[in-house]
């Protein structure tokens, strides 16, 4: 009995040590990903705070839709890194103070593909990569880079797309003032079933109604968005 007790205690200690190492590893991974996101924001100072806000809103919306566990981690990583592909966009386009030309938009629209190419071979980011790869796809198939339609678009990307557009619209841009929350809400309602999954738009607007004052607010600034 004493031997069995000693073995049980040793196994428990090993389990605790493994759990601690896993927590430390996860913390190191998240710190690294946050560093990548901050590095991009340092390059494009007008986007500072955007990633943090969209991560918090995305997770709040995902929980409302019943998403739990490791799926939330995938959403966190995808939201945090959604613009990482913009490291491949030239400064004269990314930092342009006015509207882009169509030729410049063609280059800007390459950033989801660039992000996918950068991160697709990292195993623990496999599902997160689908979010950043598809967050500019649209419900009616008019998005990019693959022209996915409806539920062909990964659920995480559909969730994030609503949050990303909300934050973009309610943030001030060099080429336009921030939209009021009322105007941004009207846009999401108008585009539900067109650009966005209507079920997710409905859940997001309910979230705003119930927790609006507690949710992160957009700030002045922001790079080109389309």
CB 118 within 8 A of CB 84: yes
- What's the whole-model pTM score? 0.78
Q: What whole-number distance in Å separates Cα of residue 77 and Cα of residue 97?
A: 29
pLDDT digits (tens, 9 = 90+) for 7-29: 554 555 555 455 565 565 566 66
Distances in whole angstroms, Cα of residue 64 to Cα of each of 27, 50, 182, 201, 209:
25, 21, 22, 12, 13
Measured over all CA atoms, what is the biggest interatomic distance in the chain, rounded to whole angstroms? 78
Q: Which residues are CB-neighbours of 76 under 8 A, at least 6 positions away? A: 30, 55, 58, 59
3-state secondary structure of 221: coil
Domains present along the chain, CATH in parentheses: 2-214 (1.10.3210.10)
pLDDT digits (tens, 9 = 90+) for 69-119: 989 989 998 998 888 888 888 988 888 888 889 999 999 999 999 999 988
172 by Cβ neighbours in 10 Å (0-12 / 13-18 / 19+) ranks as middle
Q: At what angle do helices 198-211 and 181-191 cross, to 10 degrees?
A: 160
pLDDT digits (tens, 9 = 90+) for 115-156: 999 888 888 788 999 999 999 999 999 999 999 999 999 999
Task: Output helix, strand, coil percentages for the chain, rounded to the nearest 5.
Answer: 70, 0, 30
């Amino acid at each position: 009995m004493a031997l069995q007790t000693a073995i049980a205690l040793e196994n428990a200690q090993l389990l605790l040590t493994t759990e601690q190492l896993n927590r430390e590893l996860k913390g190191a991974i998240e710190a690294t990903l946050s560093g990548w996101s901050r590095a991009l924001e340092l390059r494009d100072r007008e986007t500072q705070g955007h990633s943090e806000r969209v991560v918090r809103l995305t997770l709040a919306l995902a929980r409302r839709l019943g998403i739990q566990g490791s799926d939330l981690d995938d959403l966190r990583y995808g939201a945090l890194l959604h613009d990482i592909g913009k490291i491949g966009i030239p400064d004269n386009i990314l930092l342009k103070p006015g509207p882009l030309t169509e030729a410049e938009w063609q280059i800007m629209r390459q950033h989801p593909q660039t992000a996918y190419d950068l991160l697709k071979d990292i195993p623990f980011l496999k599902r997160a990569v689908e979010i950043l790869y598809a967050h500019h796809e649209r419900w009616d198939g008019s998005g990019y880079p693959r022209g996915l339609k409806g539920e062909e678009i990964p659920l995480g990307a559909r969730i994030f797309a609503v949050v990303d557009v909300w934050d973009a619209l309610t943030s001030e841009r060099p080429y336009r003032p921030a939209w009021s929350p009322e105007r941004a809400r009207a846009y999401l309602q108008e585009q539900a079933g067109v650009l966005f999954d209507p079920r997710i738009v409905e859940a997001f607007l309910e979230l705003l109604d119930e927790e609006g004052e507690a949710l992160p607010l957009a700030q002045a600034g922001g790079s080109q968005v389309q």
